[in-house]
Amino acid sequence: MRADVLCTGMFLAVLTGFVYSSEEGGEWTEVVRFIEWDLEKDPLQVKTDSEAGSEDVISVMFYLAEEMDIYNYESIGYFTITFDDPLPELFVSDCDAEFEEESSAVLSERDKTWTFSKSRTDLTIQCNGEKVANINFGIDKECWAMWSQDVAKIWFWAGGDSDDDTATDGYKKPDDQEWTDVEKFIEWDLEEDSLQVKTDSEAGSAEIMTIMFYTAEHEDRSDFASIGYVSVKFSDVLEYHVHHCTNDDYDYEEFQNAPPHEPNKIWTISKSSTDLSIDCNGVRVLDLNFASAVGSKCSDKWSQDVAKMWFWMEDDSEQDTASDAYRKLQKIEGEGGDEGDDCEKTRTCYSDAKSLVAFLVPVSLLTHLF
C-alpha cells in the first residue's frame, strides 16, 4: 500500500476515533423529584442547627406510592417545624399537633437530631433522643383519612413560599452512618462544562424541560431573576424560551433549526459570556447572541457567570416534567484560545470533523487512483 494512502487512512481513523469520543460525556445523574421512603419501616432522621427566632423551617411532604405530582400536598400530608422564639412550633396538616410542654429543655438546644416515626395510627417525633410529640390520627376523621395511609416517598418542600424547607442540613435512616444533604442547588460552571439533558418526551405531550441558572452569590432558588432559565416545550412543533432573551414576555418560539423527530433526545446547552447554544442529538437548533437578542435584559443577565442550576419544580406552567437525567460535557479549548473558539465535546466538533472527512475521503481516493 502506498505511504500516502496509509497515512491518510490512519489520519481518518484517528479523526473518526475523535468523532466517537467527542460524543461521550460523564455519568448520567437522575433528575430526582421524590425521595423513596417507607416511613412505616424506616424512621426519618433530620439534622438542624437553626437558632430560636431564626424563622427557619423544617418542611417535609409525604406521598402515596402512586403519586406523581410533587406539589400535591394532599396526597398524604406534610408537617412543618418553625424555629420561632423562644421555642419551635409544630404543624401537621389535617391534624391537631403541638410539642409537649415538658420538652422545652431539649427543644432549646441548638444542634438537634429529629426522628420522625410513623405507624398506621400515630406519628411520633423525637428530638435528640427524647420524645417531644405524639400525634394520634384517630382523634380526628380528616387526620385519620390522610395519615393512616402508607408513606412511600417524601420531599423537602421547595415551593417558593414561607413553608420552604430552610432548616434541614441532612437526613438519613437511624442505622445509616452518613447524612445525605438536602440539595438546594446543583453546582455547575456552565462556562466550563456544557450541560447535557436526556429526555424521552413525545412531541405534542405538552411536557416541559425548564432549567434555572444562578450566579454564585444567589441563594433564593425560587427567584428566577438571577440569570434566567432555558425552557423547551414539547408541543406539536417543539418550541423554546430563553428568559430575558427570546422576548420580554414569556412566549415560546420555534427553534432556528427543527430538532430531530425521535423521542429519545440528548440536549446540549453551552454558554460563553456572549452566546448561548443548544444542540439536540447533534443538530444545532439554536445559536443565541446576547447582544443582538430581542430581550432588553439579555446581555446584562446572561453575560454573568453561571455557578449553579436547578430543574424548575415550582407548581406552575414552567414546571420541569421532561428532564430524565443530566451530565457534564467539558469543553476543549480551540487553537485560537479565544472564548468563541472553544470546541465542545459535542456534535459541534462532530459536524466540523464530518465535513473534513467528507473532503478528505475523495482526496485519498484520487491519490490512490493517480
pLDDT at 194 over 70: yes
3-22 helix and 347-369 helix, angle to the nearest 10 degrees = 170
pLDDT mean over 345-362: 41
Choice between 98 and 318, residue whose per-residue pLDDT is larger:
98
315 band by pLDDT with thresholds 50, 70 and 90: low
Block residue for cell numbers 430531530: 260
pLDDT of the residue at 322: 95
225 band by pLDDT with thresholds 50, 70 and 90: low
pLDDT mean over 49-78: 91
Q: Is 281 exposed, middle or buried (0-12, 13-18, 19+ CB in 10 A)?
A: middle
For 76-93, write each residue's pLDDT tens digit: 999 999 999 999 999 999
- Look at 99-108, 164-173, 180-189 and tell me which has the smallest mean pLDDT: 180-189
pLDDT of the residue at 185: 85
351: how many CB neighbours lie within 10 A of its CB? 16
- Look at 82-86, 195-199, 362-366 and tell me which has the smallest mean pLDDT: 362-366
Nine cell digits for residue 46: 433530620
pLDDT mean over 94-112: 96
45: how many CB neighbours lie within 10 A of its CB? 19
Q: Please provide the size of the chain in residues.
A: 370
Block residue for cell numbers 394532599: 74
pLDDT mean over 214-218: 88
In this structure, are residues 336 and 38 in contact, taking their beta carbons and an 8 Å threshold?
Answer: no
Q: Closest Cα partner for 295 from 253, 243, 335, 337? A: 243
pLDDT of the residue at 12: 32
pLDDT at 57 over 70: yes
pLDDT of the residue at 164: 87
pLDDT at 147 over 80: yes
For 258-295, write each residue's pLDDT tens digit: 999 999 999 999 999 999 999 999 999 999 999 999 99
pLDDT at 359 over 80: no
Nine cell digits for residue 304: 454573568
For 175-191, write each residue's pLDDT tens digit: 999 999 988 789 999 99
pLDDT at 224 over 70: no
pLDDT of the residue at 85: 96
pLDDT at 346 over 90: no
Choice between 237 and 159, residue whose per-residue pLDDT is larger:
237
